[in-house]
Chains A and B, each alone.
Chain A
Amino acid sequence: MSRLLVCPPDYFRIDYEINPWMRRSNVVDPELAVRQWHRLMEVLERDVGAVLERMTPVSGLPDLVFTANAGIVIGRKAVPSRFRHPERQREEAHFEGWFRDHGYEIMTLEANLYFEGAGDLLGFPDGWFGGYRQRSEIRAFPILSEMFEREILPVELVDGRFYHLDTCFCPLSGGELLYYPPAFDRYAQATIAERIPAGRRLAVTEPEALKFACNAVCVGKHVVLPSGCPETMTWLNHRGYQTHAVPLDEFMKSGGSAKCLTLALD
């Protein structure tokens, strides 16, 4: 059973611009956003069988909906995020409060050491990858590595459109990987190629990468991804994954999609 933390989009809108996707002029349709979010939840609960933990939305914190950035949770330990942008720093207390209220052991990073949670820390059971340079700082990873006794290979993100690791890198339960190589510098590309055999990696095409094909939620053999990514879905289907395309265009206006809207709790 997989538990995911989510936050309803009651207050979701574009109030500021902190990534290349966000345009204040590109107004969110609130009703459509709510419909798309509920559709995603329906797929996750009914089709995928995930258990959803719903946070209470907070007025004035439009990006609280992107719970992937709440922090990182391993077992009963949680490390809340330290956001780079002041606009999102106001979310920190709410995420930390949720972890505390739900009995997690909170481990904190020093102030000003930016780390944006599961948005920048993803991986396989035997080793993790940490995205840095855009949002999280590389210095956070040795500390997290020590906390969780896991290897964390830092990978540099070089394209502002793919500002979190989870926008261009999606590890799958069978050890495969969806990723968009040009989002990484050549050292990171070499590191990824060294760790994941070529036959188990899909280098997503640019059009599908820009649809956030890699911002997918993988639970067992189910993959929930934004609609408009047929090539990625075909590749996944050939490898035995059941794919679920969900329209999430309203959230793309903010630079987020399926994965950004969830945080794996187990």
Chain B
Amino acid sequence: MAAAQETVVLTGHIIDSLILAKVLDTILMMGGTFDLQEVAIGKTRNEPSRARILVCADSTKLLSDILRAIQPHGASVEGESNCQLQPAPADGVFPEDFYATTHLPTQVRLAGQWIEVDGIEMDLGIVADQKTSRVRATPMADVMRGDPVVIGRGGIRVVPLQRPQERDVFSFMESQVSAERPHGHIIADVGKRMQSLREGHRSGKSGHKVLVAGGPAVIHAGGRDALTWLIDEGFVHVLFCGNALAAHDMEADLYGTSLGYGFSAGRVVPHGHEHHLRTINRVRGIGSIEKSVQTGVIKAGIMASCVRRGVHVVMAGTIRDDGPLPGVITDSVAAQRAMRAAIPGVGLALLVASTLHAVATGNLLPATIPTVCVDVNPAVPTKLADRGSFQAVGLVMDAASFLRDVARELGWKG
């Protein structure tokens, strides 16, 4: 997206005098871009014309340089109002007319300055701190009585996504969902992204983390080895899951089964249905997943690799959970907060085989983060898109096949 933008208006005999052409040329020559939002051409020779131009630049400095260069040619910044603020009436309650966010980059005008809203995600409110001039997207549950909350629609602008420079499957950021579309090029593009993100992350760049949100089908369908390899090789930096993925992953390590189904036997083993309960109980006895790995009780698999590689894991619980495992956050508002805290720095999100975690994570992601939603059930990527995560690329395929194919793209020999 453009870091800075301003709408300017140009009036008069701007067409035949080439003033409009000169202003547009100046914007481009200085390294900015423009969107000609409106051009009303005078119907007679004496009647003036009018143009509204959205000027975009990579930095506020470049924008102000451009504005300074075009103002002598008559381009004047369109008069815009500051956003309206109203104090929150109580903890956890927004004022009646609060502005509800989208997950697109958003700016508000405070004291004549356009300020980028931090931590943008959909369906939040915007809280301003006038002293620091910082503005933050804030969940309803986190607003405090008296916080100045942006209300109405004036002085707020949502910045459309600009096409990224890389020409890959994410260039169009659209969620077409179809089981009939070939997957090969999408998987190849995901692999390329992960490769370059790993390099960036290793060299300490921000915004280069890969987030995987996964359900237990990753284990049942046989994607465990591939995901473990991806974690071991440093391709995954954040994992969102529930009790089940962690439990079945460790069950597989302890018993060689997933929900009692033997991986090598290929059938339900006697008393197998108890394995995940015994696994959960064992880890609860030890006190934590970390300690279970460090003491050598859990030797391999997704959770073991996460512990060894220092992957940031957030486990969010549900009503049907057994146990749950230590570390599973059972307060859903607290879980949402923990997931939200792990989003900054993410540059790619893979939502694999989990309706619950895919939609929950999709809601937290700004539209600027390339996202892939993989599920055998086309309803999941469709649901994600319907809830507003239009940037997610939908892939209708088996979770294990996806993880294996991506891992193979990156050099996995399994």
Contact = CB atoms under 8 A, between A and B. Distances in A.
Interface of A: 126-127, 132-133, 137-139, 141-142, 145-146, 149-156, 185, 187-188, 190-191, 194-195
Contacts of A146: 48
Given A139-B74, A139-B76, A154 B16 contact: no
A152 B48 CA distance: 9
Contacts of B21: 187
Contacts of A126: 45
B14 to A, nearest CB: 8
Nearest to B21: A187
B281 interface: no
Nearest to A139: B74
Given A127-B45, A138-B73, A139-B74, A152 B18 contact: no
B73 A156 contact: yes
Contacts of B12: 138, 141-142, 145, 152, 154
Given A138-B73, A139-B74, A145-B12, A187 B17 contact: yes
Given A141-B13, A154-B19, A156-B22, 16 more contacts: A126-B45, A137-B72, A138-B73, A139-B76, A141-B12, A142-B12, A142-B74, A145-B46, A150-B46, A151-B16, A153-B13, A154-B13, A155-B17, A185-B22, A187-B19, A195-B16
Contacts of A132: 72
A151 B13 contact: yes
B101 interface: no
Interface string B16-42: 111101100000000000000000000
Contacts of B82: none
A132 B48 CA distance: 17
Contacts of B19: 138, 154, 187
A150 B46 CA distance: 5
Q: Which 3 A-B pairs have the closest CB atoms?
A: A142-B12, A153-B17, A187-B18
Interface centre among B17, B18, B22, B73 (most CB of A within 10 A): B17
Interface in B59-112: 72-74, 76
B330 interface: no
Nearest to A127: B45
Contacts of A127: 45
Q: Chain A's interface: helix, strand, loop or mixed, by majority?
A: mixed
B48 A142 contact: yes
B187 to A, nearest CB: 51
Contacts, number: 58
19 contacts: A133-B72, A139-B74, A139-B76, A145-B12, A145-B48, A146-B48, A151-B16, A151-B45, A153-B13, A153-B16, A153-B17, A154-B12, A154-B13, A154-B17, A154-B73, A187-B21, A188-B18, A191-B18, A195-B16
Given A145-B46, A191-B18, A152 B72 contact: no
A142 B11 CA distance: 7
Contacts of B17: 153-155, 187-188, 191
A151 B18 contact: no
B77 to A, nearest CB: 13
A263 B58 CA distance: 49
A57 B176 CA distance: 80
A145 B49 CA distance: 12
Given A133-B72, A138-B74, A187-B22, A149 B16 contact: no
A216 to B, nearest CB: 24
Contacts of B18: 187-188, 190-191
Contacts of A153: 13, 16-17
Nearest to B17: A153
A91 B347 CA distance: 64
Interface centre among A150, A153, A188, A195 (most CB of B within 10 A): A153
Contacts of B46: 145, 149-151
A145 to B, nearest CB: 6
Contacts of A139: 74, 76
A151 B14 CA distance: 10
Nearest to B22: A187
Nearest to B25: A187
A149 B47 CA distance: 8
A100 to B, nearest CB: 28
Contacts of A141: 12-13
A138 B48 CA distance: 13
B29 to A, nearest CB: 13
